[in-house]
Amino acid sequence: MTHAPAFLEARRSIRAFLPEPIGRAALDRLVEAACLAPAPHHSRPWRFVVVDSTAGKRALARGMGERWRRDLAGDGVAPDRIDALVSASHAKLEGAPAFVLGCLTWDGLDRYPDEARRRAEWGMALLSLGAAVENLMLAAADAGLASCWVAAPIFCPEEARDALGLPREWLPHALVLVGQPDPEYTGRPRPPVPLGELRDWR
């Protein structure tokens, strides 16, 4: 326990779900919560794609999995190990009742002629997407739902976009699995916050 507000303590990554579907109204409430996040210059450079169909979940898992397969092969990982990793990832993803896929767009962002400022602007958008995802997960915890952020799409935004047939300018960067929590799941204990290491004063 920390001295943080209880609603922050209550959010944990939960990686196992009951098979029950989650209603679309409940999923919309999570997306609305996400959209209250702060964002640069009053923009909302996000698009949230809610994937609750078996076909959609499978398409996304397979599209990202194929890219991961190629990356692992390029790293020299043995083929049977690649098969095991990619199948475990498919099972984990497809076992979640719903996905919320957070995408970034340039909509509302400033355009710069130079690469350094373009990168900084995109970095701001990414920070705001992180804030939106945190809002979404806090809202899920508040509604008694389990959620877990999955890094995969940030490594293969184009493959994730194309797997779902999204517009070219929507680039997936954050995947959140959502469902009713499996009561059997026990996560790792949360380590204490070492303020002395993570915070400095000037």
Ligand X SMILES: Cc1cc2nc3c(=O)[nH]c(=O)nc-3n(C[C@H](O)[C@H](O)[C@H](O)COP(=O)(O)O)c2cc1C
Residue 113 vs 194, nearer CB to ligand X: 194
Contact status: 90 vs ligand X (CB under 6 A): no
Query: Could you tell me which stretch among 43-51, 57-65, 103-111, 147-155 binds ligand X (CB under 6 A)?
Result: 147-155
Contact status: 190 vs ligand X (CB under 6 A): yes
Contact status: 12 vs ligand X (CB under 6 A): yes
- Residue of 48, 26, 52, 12 whose CA lies nearest to 128: 48
Among 1, 4, 116, 151, binds ligand X (CB under 6 A): 151
Q: To which H or E segment does residue 176 belong?
A: strand 171-179
Among 13, 43, 105, 180, binds ligand X (CB under 6 A): 13
Site for ligand X in 43-72 (CB under 6 A): none
Could you tell me which residues come within 8 angstroms of residue 144 by beta carbon, excluding any fewer than 6 positions away? Answer: 180, 181
CB 60 within 8 A of CB 164: yes
| 130 exposure class (CB count in 10 Å sphere: 0-12, 13-18, 19+) | middle
Burial 30-65 (b: 16+ CB within 10 A, else e): bbebbeebebbeebebbbbbbbbeeebbebbbebbb
**Residue 167 beta carbon to ligand X: minimum distance, rounded to whole angstroms:** 23
Contact status: 176 vs ligand X (CB under 6 A): no
Q: Kindly report the number of other CB atoms within 10 A of residue 107's CB atom.
A: 13
Residue 50 vs 133, nearer CB to ligand X: 133
CA distances from 66 to 94, 101, 127, 176 (A): 15, 18, 28, 20
Among 34, 109, 150, 164, binds ligand X (CB under 6 A): 150
Residue 12 vs 90, nearer CB to ligand X: 12
Residue 49 vs 138, nearer CB to ligand X: 138
Query: Could you tell me which stretch among 26-34, 98-106, 145-153, 158-166 binds ligand X (CB under 6 A)?
Result: 145-153
- DSSP letter (8 states) at residue 40: G
**Residue 115 beta carbon to ligand X: minimum distance, rounded to whole angstroms:** 24
Binding residues for ligand X, per CB under 6 A?
12-13, 15, 148-151, 187, 190
